[in-house]
């Protein structure tokens, strides 16, 4: 009887231990993105073409690595990094104080990796006679003080204002550099991506919008701002006022394949790809 009781006690302990192990396993966050050969990139639609193109070449060179690239906006990317659902957060703006505080509270160490420079080009329909705006005119258009192109040297009648949505790093940067953080006019059409802005402007004679340099094409016309044309050269020299760095954030310093990917992006070949996409390389 004593041996039977002892056996039951030992069995009970084993079962309890197994239940405890299972409880711990199920309570831990499952993060499929932590596999050594799997990299998930999420965030800025401005940085998206850079991430997609460099990821494709990197995977060709490293067949054992799988890189998933998604857009969604800078805010989405940084939130994903904080939640542990991505390895790299693309951002076209610096991380905000409140985002950093939230990250630290969760044990995340957002580390900024600058991978390129960019200018925010102000664009109109090619048929618009406007070729330039002052910073004041631009601000007045986006805040509602100017509503007709006749007030800004252009054609097309009523101005149709196209802006990025609040999750966008491009919006944050434009709002800070061009609008002094003043609220955008309430009738502005808010869009989720650079491509959406460029598409609407290309189809709307009275429209004005703003996109990263990589989204310029013959379908839209970029305006001079304070007499300076948005270009790689004017961004690098600092002459163009709507310029900014582009980031890829990681949790701490990149290691493993993530570091290898960054090394490729920042290499001479990677930076040449950045320039071919219409952005400004660091080298």
Top-confidence residue, 238 or 138: 138
153 plus 45 within the same structural domain: no
The token pair that represents 147 in the structure block: 């509503």
23 assigned to some structural domain: no
Tell me phi and psi for residue 86, to 5 degrees. -150, 160
HSE-CB of 149 using CA atoms within 13 angstroms: 20
- The verdict on 207 and 271 lying in the same domain is no
CA distance 189 to 198: 12
Q: Are residues 69 and 80 in the same domain?
A: yes
**Is 129 inside a domain boundary?**
yes
Domain match, 250 and 162 both: no
CATH of the domain at 53: 3.40.190.10
Instruction: Tell me, yes or no, whether 16 lies in a domain.
Output: no
pLDDT score of 138 more than 60? yes
Percent of the chain with pLDDT over 70: 87
Question: How much is the average pLDDT of 83-112?
Answer: 96
Q: What pLDDT does 141 receive?
A: 98
Please give the residue range of the domain that contains residue 58.
Answer: 35-117+245-276
Is the same domain home to 220 and 158? yes
Q: How many degrees, rounded to 5, is the angle at CA 275 between CA 269 and CA 276?
A: 90
Q: Are residues 44 and 100 in the same domain?
A: yes
pLDDT tens profile 217-258: 999 999 999 999 999 899 988 899 999 999 999 999 999 999
The count of structural domains within the chain is 2
Q: Is residue 13 part of a domain?
A: no
Query: Is the domain of 237 the same as that of 130?
Result: yes
pLDDT-based confidence at 12, cuts 50/70/90?
low
Q: Phi/psi zone of residue 188: left (φ > 0), alpha (ψ -120 to 50 degrees), beta?
A: beta
User: Quick check: pTM over 0.85?
Assistant: no
Which percentage of the chain shows pLDDT scores above 90? 78
Q: Are 187 and 265 members of one domain?
A: no
The verdict on 211 and 265 lying in the same domain is no
Length of the chain: 283
**pLDDT number for residue 139:** 98
Beta carbons of 200 and 191 less than 8 angstroms apart: yes
| pLDDT over 50 at 137, yes or no | yes
The answer to whether residue 195 sits within a structural domain is yes
User: 159 in a domain, yes or no?
Assistant: yes
**What pLDDT score does 224 carry?**
98
Which residues sit opposite 70 in a β-bridge? 42
Q: How confident is the model at residue 16 (pLDDT cuts 50, 70, 90)?
A: very low
Judgement on whether residues 249 and 145 belong to the same structural domain of the protein: no
**238 and 123 in one domain?**
yes
Report if residue 69 sits inside a domain. Answer: yes
Answer whether residue 35 shows pLDDT above 70. Answer: no
- pLDDT attached to residue 24: 39
| Residue 23 clears pLDDT 50, i.e. is over it | no
75 and 105 together in one domain: yes
Q: At 156, is the pLDDT very low, low, confident or very high (cuts 50, 70, 90)?
A: low
pLDDT (average), residues 42-56: 95
Is residue 272 one of the residues assigned to a domain? yes
| H runs (alpha helix) in 106-146 | 135-143
């Amino acid at each position: 009887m004593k041996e039977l009781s002892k056996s039951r006690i030992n069995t009970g302990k084993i079962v309890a231990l197994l239940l405890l192990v299972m409880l711990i396993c199920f309570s831990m966050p499952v993060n499929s993105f932590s596999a050594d050969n799997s990299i998930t990139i999420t965030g800025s639609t401005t940085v998206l073409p850079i991430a997609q193109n460099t990821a494709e070449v990197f995977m060709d060179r490293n067949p054992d690595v799988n890189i998933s690239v998604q857009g969604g906006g800078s805010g989405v990317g940084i939130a994903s990094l904080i939640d542990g659902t991505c390895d790299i957060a693309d951002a076209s703006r610096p991380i905000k104080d409140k985002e950093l505080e939230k990250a630290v509270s969760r044990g995340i160490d957002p580390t900024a990796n600058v991978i390129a420079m960019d200018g925010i080009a102000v664009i109109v329909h090619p048929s618009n006679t406007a070729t330039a705006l002052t910073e004041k005119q631009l601000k007045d258009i986006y805040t509602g003080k100017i509503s007709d192109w006749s007030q800004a040297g252009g054609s097309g009648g009523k101005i149709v204002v196209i802006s990025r949505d609040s999750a966008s790093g491009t919006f944050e940067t434009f709002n800070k550099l061009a609008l002094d953080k003043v609220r955008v006019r309430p009738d502005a059409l808010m869009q989720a991506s650079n491509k959406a802005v460029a598409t609407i402007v290309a189809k709307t004679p009275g429209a004005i919008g703003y996109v990263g340099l990589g989204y310029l094409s013959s379908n839209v016309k970029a305006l001079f701002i304070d007499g300076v044309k948005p270009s790689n050269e004017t961004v690098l020299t600092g002459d163009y006022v709507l310029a900014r760095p582009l980031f890829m954030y990681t949790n701490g310093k990149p290691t493993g394949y993530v570091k290898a990917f960054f090394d490729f992006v920042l290499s001479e070949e990677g930076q040449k790809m950045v320039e071919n996409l219409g952005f400004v390389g660091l080298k």
